[in-house]
Amino acid sequence: MSEQLILEPTPLNAVDRCDRCGAQAYVRATLLNGGELLFCAHHAKQYAEGLKPVVAAIQDETSKLTASATTVSEDE
């Protein structure tokens, strides 16, 4: 019997860049073949439907965008 290693996804940070445009990535798409694609929020929405057949998992951290905007407005 073989064991599968399941890794916890690491949080995305400022070093992670969108594979389409180079902006900060907020979405990681893990492909069925083991590869991964990183997207900014805009491109994640644009390619979401087309990725569904080839994606094993999606890590969506776009909530960070609204969380930081709320924090900034509360400080003013």
The stretch 2-7 carries a mean pLDDT of 63
**Model confidence, pTM:** 0.78
37: burial class by Cβ within 10 Å (0-12, 13-18, 19+)? buried
pLDDT at 8: 75
Look at phi and psi of residue 15 and say left if phi exceeds 0, alpha if psi is from -120 to 50, else beta: alpha
Confidence check: pLDDT of 4 > 70: no
Instruction: Classify strands 36-39 and 55-60 as parallel, antiparallel or unpaired.
Output: unpaired
Task: List pLDDT tens digits, range 18-68.
Answer: 999 999 999 999 999 999 999 999 999 999 999 999 999 999 999 999 875
Going by C-alpha positions, the residue among 2, 6, 26 that lies closest to residue 15 is 26
